[in-house]
Amino acid sequence: MVTLTAPHDHTPELTNAEVRRIRNDFPILGQRVNGHPLVYLDSGATSQNPTCVLEAEQEFYEQRNSAVHRGAHTLAVDATDAFEDARATVAAFIGATDRELVWTANATAGLNLLAYAFSNASVGDTGADARQFALGPGDEIVVTEMEHHANLIPWQELCRRTGATLRHIPILDDGTLDLDAAASIIGARTRILAFTHVSNVLGVINPVAELAALGHAAGAFVVLDACQSAPHLPLDVKALGVDFAAFSGHKMLGPTGIGALYGRAELLDALPPFLAGGSMITTVTLERAEYLPSPQRFEAGTQPISQAVALAAAARYLHETGMGRIHAWEAQLGQRLVAGLEAIDGIRVLGPAAGVERAGLAAFEVAGVHAHDVGQFLDAAGIAVRVGHHCAQPLHRRLGLSASTRASAYLYNTTDDVDAFLDAVAGVRGYFGVA
């Protein structure tokens, strides 16, 4: 069984010198873009991969490639061992057990799996244990105004299918959640409370334990979108007290095509399956089927085997670097981003001001210049950022915007990267003649 080695959180904080050494582990960062050294500040969308992750997936295909849980030959056994070791590694990375981690295609797939499983419990004879998940008219699902579409639309659709009502917790003008409103909205009718740990637009780090306590006091299931937290800060789903959590591999140094859904074991075992087919059954007749316990009951068909192995390599890399150290370094970069942007005329930073805790990202508006033009201007200087509504249209509408530009840092970014970005942003309005 693969285990996580002791992290380096007890060692001194990350420095530019160490980060420059870390950068050497990421082959893509050594290239030039449009004649400039690449400054990659789009890890909030997709992170880059260290060599160990690339090699882990390649090694699987070269040495172990086979179907898992299906064969008795040596390759099949080796592949199954690697696959399940990967599950145990990634589960330990978030403070869970291997029985509590379901492989999915990404976080969006995990959240949809959960929403559809809830609706499957709402129709037909699904058994007494499953009926705890059934929703109907009069029930409520509560989300927040800052949600990514992946943690909003599945719940909209669940309400449409079951007749439940969707409500939302508003944000304050500084971008933080209105916790007073949350306390009044979450109540006896609330069946599901779903919210993001870290806003992918505002950089706000939400008080998960406090919100989870509100949800559980109301008897609700608590669902966490951990896409922007699992890669960037120490995550312990048990300590946070959530019932379910979803995250994506491609945002935490892993490959695309894989993510995970965490759920408390007793809940996953009671939850009706979503996709049906091979690998997730015990007995099948021409009339009916009986299903395996979690996690296999949610993993029909051929699983993302090589991707799981590579994601485990990513989790080990992050763990050995030290998630506390990574979070502290990114917090510094986030503050440097915000303070620098606030000092530039015509820039409006979204979310908390400099000096207030936030993740290592900053979204902003440039007065008189569309976000897409800002992105193209920066790209010409070799700087990669994200532009658009970042799959958070309701939040942008609340902020009076249709789009913004976002710079998001990771453990391989230096203060030089941030400064190069700020120098370029300072020239945007002059270039477009609106300064």
Residues 277 and 332 in one domain: no
Helix (H) or strand (E) holding 108, with range, is helix 107-121
Residues 115 and 255 in one domain: yes
Binning pLDDT at 50, 70 and 90, where does residue 1 land? very low
CATH number of the domain encompassing residue 24: 3.90.1150.10
pLDDT per position as a tens digit, 80-91: 999 999 999 999
Residues 299 and 391 in one domain: no
Q: What is the pLDDT of residue 5?
A: 61
Q: Is residue 2 part of a domain?
A: no
Final residue belonging to a domain, choices 274, 304, 319: 319
pLDDT per position as a tens digit, 249-294: 999 999 999 999 999 999 999 999 998 888 888 899 999 988 988 8
Q: Show the 3-state SS of 300-333.
A: CCCCCHHHHHHHHHHHHHHHHHCHHHHHHHHHHH
Q: What is the pLDDT of residue 279?
A: 82
Q: Is residue 257 part of a domain?
A: yes
Q: What is the pLDDT of residue 281?
A: 86
Among candidates 411, 277, 428, which has minimal Cα distance to 332?
411
| pLDDT, average across residues 382-406 | 98
Rounded to whole angstroms, the Cα distance separating 319 from 323 reads 6
For tokens 């007073």, name the residue: 180
pLDDT per position as a tens digit, 338-359: 999 999 999 999 999 999 999 9
Q: Is residue 284 part of a domain?
A: yes
Residues 120 and 256 in one domain: yes
Q: What is the pLDDT of residue 122?
A: 78
Q: Is 87 helix (H, G, I), strand (E, B) or coil?
A: helix
Final residue belonging to a domain, choices 297, 319, 341: 319
Residues 170 and 297 in one domain: yes
Rounded to whole angstroms, the Cα distance separating 152 from 306 reads 30
Rounded to whole angstroms, the Cα distance separating 155 from 166 reads 7
Q: Is residue 371 part of a domain?
A: yes
Rounded to whole angstroms, the Cα distance separating 387 from 427 reads 17
Q: What is the pLDDT of residue 417?
A: 98
Residues 247 and 379 in one domain: no
Measure the CA dihedral 229/314/261/299, to 10°.
Answer: 170
Residues 176 and 247 in one domain: yes
The structural domain count of the chain equals 2
Mean pLDDT over the full length of the chain: 95
Q: Is residue 7 part of a domain?
A: no
Give the rounded percent of residues in the chain with a pLDDT score beyond 90. 89
Residues 310 and 371 in one domain: no
Residues 39 and 72 in one domain: no
| Spatial CB neighbours of 125, under 8 Å, sequence gap ≥ 6 | none
Q: Is residue 427 part of a domain?
A: yes
Q: Which region among 34-43, 64-73, 106-115, 226-235 has the lowest average model confidence (pLDDT)?
A: 64-73
Residues 251 and 366 in one domain: no
Final residue belonging to a domain, choices 270, 303, 319: 319
R_g of the chain, CA atoms, integer Å: 22
User: Is the predicted pLDDT of residue 6 greater than 80, yes or no?
Assistant: no
Rounded to whole angstroms, the Cα distance separating 216 from 223 reads 11
Q: Is residue 62 part of a domain?
A: yes
CATH number of the domain encompassing residue 194: 3.40.640.10
Q: Is residue 273 part of a domain?
A: yes
Residues 390 and 245 in one domain: no
Q: What is the pLDDT of residue 125?
A: 60
Residues 139 and 271 in one domain: yes
Give the predicted TM-score (pTM) of the model: 0.95
Range of 346's domain? 16-49+322-431
Which residues have a catalytic role annotated? Answer: 391
Q: What is the pLDDT of residue 7?
A: 55
Binning pLDDT at 50, 70 and 90, where does residue 4 land? confident
